[in-house]
Amino acid sequence: MRQLIAGNWKMNGSLTMARGLLDALRAADAALGCDLLVCPPATLVSVAAHALLGSRVAVGGQDCHAKPAGAHTGDISAPMLRDAGASHVILGHSERRADHGESDALVRAKVAAAVAAGLLPIVCVGETEAQRVGGQAEAVVAGQLAGSLAEDFAGVVAYEPVWAIGTGRTPTEADVAAMHAHIRAELERRLGAGGAGLRILYGGSVKPSNAAALMALPEVGGALVGGASLVAEDFLGIARAVRG
């Protein structure tokens, strides 16, 4: 399976910025040996979907509500994202877990809502620095997987150590490989054969200079990229570094 390089724009992006960036991705995509996904803020999902129409670059949301519709002021539902042209949605990002108190149970409900709407969920898991230092990283991630994924989960998992997000720090290659092997084993144990083929992305301070080494590690099926996804040259630099 081709690796997936997914960009999480977080709460960044204007109409002008989006048009320039999306045009650059569209122009470069055909020559890449990986799949591209952009996850702009909800205000730009429809803009991105239109700008990328006819290309292979996919568009995703950064979150969705667990309910398809209703009295939830300020929220966005999975059917709304689908209607706007999204095919994917990031769920359980550590910033959502921290800023909005999202639990594994809520993430699991959101995964069900996403799948019901025809979206492919990208579920984020990862330990804090204190948990890693305390030797709990694998147990924490196993717990998040158990709580967030139903037995029939068929989406993408993103391993994002919280302490590596936006900090410029990354785990060692050995630590990334070990955690991805652990996640694969957990997926196979919990989901059976279905867990063997799921993509496991690495996320946390991925940039052009470290992408080739990270993307070459076993069980790394691509990257979830934050800051570097906002600059076409950086995002495409990461995409060009994948093993193809």
* Site membership for ligand PEP, residue 61 (CB under 6 A): no
Q: Shortest gap between Cβ of 226 and ligand PEP (angstroms)?
A: 2
Q: Return the residue nearest ligand PEP (CB atom).
A: 226
Q: Shortest gap between Cβ of 59 and ligand PEP (angstroms)?
A: 16
Site string for ligand PEP, 142-171 (x = CB under 6 A): ------------------x----xx-----
Q: Please name which of 102, 101, 124, 121 lies closest in space to residue 111, comparing C-alpha atoms.
A: 121
Using CA atoms, how far apart are residues 20 and 232, in angstroms rounded to an integer? 8
Residue type, 135: G
100-135 b/e (C-beta count within 10 Å ≥ 16 → b): eebebebbbbbbebbbebebbbbbbbbbbeebbeee
Of the residues 88, 93, 180, 182, which is catalytic? Answer: 93
Q: Which is nearer to ligand PEP, 8 or 148 (CB)?
A: 8
Q: Please name which of 60, 204, 58, 59 lies closest in space to residue 132, comparing C-alpha atoms.
A: 204
Q: Which is nearer to ligand PEP, 8 or 77 (CB)?
A: 8
Q: Which of 226, 235, 236, 242 binds ligand PEP (CB under 6 A)?
A: 226
**Could you tell me the two tokens for 235?**
């995002």
- Burial class for 237, CB neighbours closer than 10 Å (0-12, 13-18, 19+): middle
Q: Which is nearer to ligand PEP, 41 or 194 (CB)?
A: 41
Q: Please name which of 83, 93, 73 lies closest in space to residue 45, comparing C-alpha atoms.
A: 83
Stretch that binds ligand PEP, among 21-29, 41-49, 128-136, 200-208 (CB under 6 A): 200-208
**CA 142 distance to own-chain centroid:** 18
Residues 6 or more apart from 70 whose CB is under 8 A from it?
none
Q: Which of 22, 32, 215, 224 binds ligand PEP (CB under 6 A)?
A: 224
Map the footprint of ligand PEP across residues 203-222, applying CB under 6 A: 203-206
Q: Which is nearer to ligand PEP, 96 or 108 (CB)?
A: 96
Residues 6 or more apart from 135 whose CB is under 8 A from it?
none
Q: Shortest gap between Cβ of 229 and ligand PEP (angstroms)?
A: 7
Using CA atoms, how far apart are residues 145 and 53, in angstroms rounded to an integer? 34
Is 100 a catalytic site residue? Answer: no
Number of residues interacting with ligand PEP: please give it, by CB under 6 A: 13
Q: Which is nearer to ligand PEP, 40 or 79 (CB)?
A: 40
Is 93 a catalytic site residue? Answer: yes
Write the DSSP symbol of residue 122. Answer: E
Stretch that binds ligand PEP, among 70-78, 104-112, 130-138, 226-234 (CB under 6 A): 226-234
Active site residues: 93, 160
What residues make contact with ligand PEP under the rule CB under 6 A? 8, 160, 165-166, 203-206, 224-228
